[in-house]
Amino acid sequence: MESSFSDIEKHWAQACIFQLQTLKIAGGYPDGSFRPDATITRAEFAVLMCKAFPNIEKKRNAITFKDLPATHWAYEAVKTAYEKEFFTGYPDGTFQPARKLQRVQALVILANGLKYTAPANSSEILKKYFEDAMQIPDYAINAVAAATAGLLVVNYPNVKQLKPNQEATRGEVAAMLSQALRLSNVVPKHYVACSELFSIQPQFYWAASFSEGLAMVTVDTKSGFIDKIGNFIIQPKFDHVGSFSEGLAPAKIGEKWGYIDKTGNFIIQPQFTSASSFVDGLAPAKIGEKWGYINKTGTFVSPQQFDAADAFSDGMARVKIGEKYGYINTTGTLVIQPQFKIAYSFSEGLAAVYAPPEREGALSQWGYIDKTGNFVIEPLYSFAYPFSDGLAKVGTGYLDKTGNFVLSPQQVEGFLSFSEGLAAASVGGKWGYMDKTGKLVIQPQFYGVDNADETIAEPFSEGLALVRIGNKAGFIDKTGKFVFQPQFDNAYSFSDGMALVNVGGKWETAVGYDSSANPVVETNFRGGIWGYIRNPLK
């Protein structure tokens, strides 16, 4: 690593400074130095913010600061930084461009300017990570907590010492900006507050959950696989991949899909227009417009005749011909003819199905079939979900596999399927969990973002459940205690001992219109970087 700066060699922030210089964000002095341990002024930081984030839109009109004439060297940068809401002035109408910037001020400017949101438990987060949290000014608590959860806080040499009111150095600011810009592997992670939370540091712009010890991640536009310590086992060279199952993963090169093993070599050459995972030795694959099922030699064992085809579940696979669903078994034989308007995959020996032809016109048309296609629970319900944990959610309660109503929760407004003995249930717009007697064992306290199509209280997986507090996600155990505080911007449930979590992403609301020109409000998650946390229970 070579830099034109004469004084950064062996400095702890050398890599950060070098990267910012390469990106033409950070500059030095006429004598060739950078002066990483020198302090920085508000005007200098305004210049850096404008260079680092040129694409952030202006949100307000500029104002005139009485101590910042148009002839000031940083006039344009300060004006732009104000318009982008990076900075505000002082009540007396000044900007004070030469005033030294404190560390806490730098973090507040970054967190607020980049629209990072604070976790609900800001004070707890700060006390957990900083020995000097009590020194943080009241006005900065939420912003510093947001910066901490967003991995913006860099503390050298002691990660537990924030030193909020100390003047920031140029090297410290370079490190904070590197974190905000998501420059990978330039800040030593042992100086980044909150980084010990992650088994694999957030660094990927897209990733998937672990399966069979490997997880798909995307670098630039190519996908590969990492192991549970974050090492690449299969380098990112594919245009798209699916998860590993039974030792193979679907992988796409150009316009064709094949299957790779865990060395990254194609075992079944790319030839399919679409492909899914192997289960029970078979995988749905498509050539042209129709789906069939292949074995692990790539040979079709069932005719390519399906308009849609799912992976096997419970020894059966749901398939679609025309507008009707049926099922095949693991020999590839169509054992239940397509006849259902809507159907779920088999689970625990039964499948929920809707409206067979002979029952058209009935008011309630959901029931359960066995693997011969016979109804074992008559279609009497307005809706039905797959069996999970021995029970199925239907209508106003839960059925067992004999079709008996075993639970009809009276004190809740909404409820989901059981998993690991508990089911999410809502009261008064907030979600908690109930046991199989209908008792609320984790009180309703979780809530999400308005108009977001995200489950607020996910099913328990590996002893932990993903829950949301506003726009933050965390994980609780079966007593309702937070094992991971709600400080992630998004997350997925634990799988294979690891959970995929996001830092720096945002929930964005947009208004669209349906076919009748009625406004439709949607909130979607975008951005940030993904990393992984490890399940402490495993």
pLDDT tens sequence across 461-487: 999 999 999 999 999 999 999 999 999
Q: Which residues, at least 6 apart from 515, have a Cβ–Cβ distance to it below 8 Å?
A: none
DSSP 192-256: BTTGGG-SEEEEESEE---BTTBEEEEETTEEEEE-TTS-EEEEEEESEE---BTTBEEEEETTE
Does the pLDDT at position 2 exceed 70?
Answer: no
Angle made by CA atoms 78, 79, 84, in degrees to the nearest 5: 95
Instruction: Name the pLDDT band for 519 (thresholds 50, 70, 90).
Output: confident
Dig out the tokens for 19 from the structure.
Answer: 């990267």
Q: Which pLDDT score is estimated for 511?
A: 85
Tell me the whole-structure pTM to 2 decimals.
0.92
Per residue in 488-509, pLDDT (tens digit) is 999 999 999 999 999 999 999 8
Confirm if 252 and 266 have CB atoms less than 8 A apart: no
Q: Which pLDDT score is estimated for 532?
A: 98
Question: Helix or strand or coil: residue 32?
Answer: coil
Confirm if 116 and 147 have CB atoms less than 8 A apart: yes
Burial class (CB in 10 A: 0-12, 13-18, 19+), 5: buried
Report the first-to-last Cα separation within the chain, whole angstroms.
40
Burial 262-295 (b: 16+ CB within 10 A, else e): bebeeebebebeebbbbbbebbbbbbeeebbbbe
On average, the pLDDT of the chain sits at 95
Residue type, 279: V
Alpha-carbon gap, residue 421 to 433, rounded angstroms = 10
Instruction: Name the pLDDT band for 348 (thresholds 50, 70, 90).
Output: very high
Nearest to 369 by CA among 407, 318, 330: 318
